[in-house]
Chains A and B, each alone.
Chain A
């Protein structure tokens, strides 16, 4: 009996000691919360949010809050949250935003082990996109690439089985597929440029790469806008307007509405196009390289996961990023890869791309994957104040399209003003 009591006393004491040991520890270290800011909607990010739950379960004391920030307001939100001293711990950044954030010390450098992993596991172009000033700043995520998208049925009806490969063919096929109403207004564009800054500036960059001339110099302090290739691109574009092959009202969305025969767009629009074309998506929508008289190529643009330098939980943040992009599920995909695949996005993660092969087997995706892996695909230059430069460039290209300035004059003025912005970048 005494022995039993002693045993009970010992067990009780042990339990109390253990409880005592645990309780102060948990009181001393409150749960860590990692805030992840990305532009994906909750629906789009569902696979990622499921991964967060799993990660939280495996890491007691860690909470992950997902903060959806609209793409348009992303930088503004980062700015306000930093002023309010409550920035997110992890950002999903469009690579061109990074130079300014790095310039003010807002981003943390990834640990060397993660850097090695990125260099080994990702396509070179996406690694380059996350590289600013010769240093890697995060883990690549979504990748988009521009290609010519055309309506096979409209081209076939006009007697063309193959998409245009050169500017001359683009104009010929565009003229054959355009439809105007009785008043001469274009109701179905032979080609559509789009009306947003991204539509105009990014398409121009992609056409520059296709012509074999990068829009910016290698040091990021100058442009090649005064090159004959740049003038040619703007001149050919203006000619499409002048000949009534397209109109200023034509948007990329007109292609989805079967009101444009051809346009240049990025792969992330796959789900919207698939929804618009329904059963006829695969048979009606074709993808081809961007027409050019140069060696061929295109522009890719990327997002990457980065960590806020002011975050008190930087090691945990990098650990989470690594897990999201390295640990694989039964489908062979990482958490990031599963989310991107679900949206029809591409990734620079080679293993994810391999696991997505089945998913990317349709003709639309194949065209973009081929472009992504081609040597002519170049990452968008991460230049200083890139969005401001895009808007400036759009303005001068539009002036040339509207006939208010000659293409060389418009581009020379744009070059002068863009150089002034690039010169502001700290060395």
Chain B
């Protein structure tokens, strides 16, 4: 090998790394670095102000063995996520199916997209006013109809369902759009063939549309689940985690732990536990997605 070709090889070998360097540096500074720092903090008793003492796995043990509220906050998180999926996904699918047949599809799409471009804090405040037990519009309307209005946000059994309802409304536009995209991709010939065989609308939906929509359905489920598991702002504004911690989800709990109680070590440990749970769910669902051929998305 001549000296000239060797230097050309060296130059070719270095070039990709040079091109990758900015992105790698960005990832190192803003992703790997903070993650590593948070992992280290989770093994200390750091309060954010003073010196940090190493405590090993002490913070993780505390969360599972002594903390009276961590497991409860995880349970609330799962309840919220499950509720958001159960209510939000079928609702979005139903609306998408209805809109797909509408001539005013673009108008409906725009209307359902509006909550997505509205600030979450603004949405939370508006719903807080609407759901106010005493003067809220909803309870006033129910009163006019002679129906008893529940304690939407202050009832210990009602607060979580109310938040699930708001969350489902908030994510509706996003999910409807995804479902519409999925529905528009289904070849009409499948429907025509089924109709020729005498399938009614319900059988058509159940046996043709739904199986062909499976990849989209799984994608929407995964993204909705991840969003719901990491929710926090809605609870912070609408209920502050109350009443009696009925709506304190893990995200809100670790926020308070970190920035109100100045227990950054424990909060970092809680954040890693939550991240591990979300990762586990995501991996499981990605495995399902692969089977469903969702790579198209």
B48 contacts A185, CB within 8 Å?
no
Please state if B132 and A249 are interface contacts (CB–CB under 8 Å): yes
Is B261 in contact with A185, judged by CB distance below 8 angstroms?
Answer: no
| Contact, CB under 8 Å: A187 / B134 | yes
CB proximity of B233 to chain A, nearest CB, Å: 14
Residues facing B in A70-86 (CB within 8 A) are 73, 75-76, 78-80, 82-83
A100 to B245, CA, bound (A): 25
CB-contact partner of A247 in B68, B133, B261, under 8 A = B133
Binds B, one of A59-67, A165-173, A321-329, A396-404: A396-404
**Which residue from B147, B153, B244 sits with its C-beta under 8 Å from A404?**
B244
CA distance A185 to B243 in the complex (A): 18
Q: Known contacts being A76-B259, A247-B154, is A185 close to B133, with CB within 8 Å?
A: yes
Q: Is B182 an interface residue (CB 8 A)?
A: no
Question: Which residues of the other chain, B, contact A387 by a CB distance below 8 angstroms?
Answer: 260-261
| Nearest CB of chain A from residue B168's CB, rounded to whole Å | 23
Output the nearest chain A residue to B261 by Cβ-Cβ distance. Answer: A388
For the complex, what is the distance from the CA of A248 to the CA of B134, rounded to whole Å? 10
A316 on the interface (CB 8 Å rule)?
no
Contact B149 A183, beta carbon cutoff 8 Å: yes
B139 within 8 A of A: yes
Query: Which residues of chain B have C-beta atoms less than 8 A from A395's C-beta?
Result: 69, 244-245
- Chain A residues within an 8 Å CB radius of B195: none
What's the Cα separation between A182 and B146 when bound, in Å? 7
Q: How large, as a class, is the contact surface on chain B? A: 20 to 34
A195, CB-defined interface residue at 8 Å: yes
Q: Is the Cβ of A388 less than 8 Å from the Cβ of B151?
A: no
Inter-subunit contact B148/A185 (CB<8 Å)? yes
Chain A residues lying within 8 Å of B244, measured Cβ to Cβ, are 395, 398-399, 402, 404
User: Is A275 close to B, CB under 8 A?
Assistant: no
With a cutoff of 8 Å between Cβ atoms, the chain A residues found around residue B69 in the complex are 395
Q: Assess A78 versus B134: contact at CB under 8 Å? Given A100-B262, A182-B146, A248-B155.
A: no
Which residues of B lie under 8 Å from residue A391 when comparing CB positions? 256, 260
Is B156 in contact with chain A by the CB < 8 A criterion?
Answer: yes
Encoded as 1 (CB less than 8 Å from any A CB) or 0, chain B from 233 to 244 comes to 000000010111
**A78 near B243 (CB under 8 angstroms)?**
no
Q: Which residues of A approach B to under 8 Å, CB–CB?
A: 73, 75-76, 78-80, 82-83, 100-101, 103-106, 181-187, 195-197, 247-250, 254, 257, 259, 385, 387-388, 391, 394-395, 398-399, 402, 404, 417
Known: A75-B262, A250-B134, A399-B244. 20 other contacts (CB 8 A): A79-B49, A100-B262, A105-B50, A106-B49, A182-B143, A183-B147, A183-B149, A185-B139, A185-B143, A186-B134, A187-B134, A248-B151, A248-B243, A249-B154, A257-B135, A394-B242, A395-B244, A398-B243, A404-B244, A417-B68
Sorted nearest first, the 5 A-B pairs with minimum C-beta distance are A104-B50, A249-B133, A248-B154, A183-B148, A398-B244
A-B contact pairs, 14 of them (CB 8 A): A75-B259, A78-B49, A79-B48, A79-B49, A79-B262, A82-B49, A100-B49, A104-B51, A182-B146, A185-B133, A195-B242, A197-B240, A254-B134, A395-B69
